[in-house]
């Protein structure tokens, strides 16, 4: 799997503004998600689960400094 470049909040906001329509924004988020490494089994828990989706989805939020460190 290729190395994943973390997108900044400003870049994400700009990309969403550029895409405009929610379907394109959703496709973009899916593409970003496909570039991420798989979650560890312990991260797939109820606290990280996104409720209301047809698919089973988990998000593990986090903030990283520009140097990539938590």
Q: Which residues are marked as active site?
A: 53
* 49 phi, psi to nearest 5 deg: -75, 140
CB 58 within 8 A of CB 39: yes
Instruction: Return d(Cα 70, Cα 65) in angstroms, integer.
Output: 6
């Amino acid at each position: 799997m290729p190395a994943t470049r973390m997108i900044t909040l400003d870049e994400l906001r700009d990309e969403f503004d550029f895409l405009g329509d929610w379907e394109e924004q959703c496709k973009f988020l899916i593409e970003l998600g496909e570039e991420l490494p798989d979650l560890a089994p312990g991260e797939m828990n109820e606290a990280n689960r996104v409720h209301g989706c047809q698919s089973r989805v988990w998000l593990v939020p986090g903030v990283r400094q520009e140097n990539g460190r938590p």
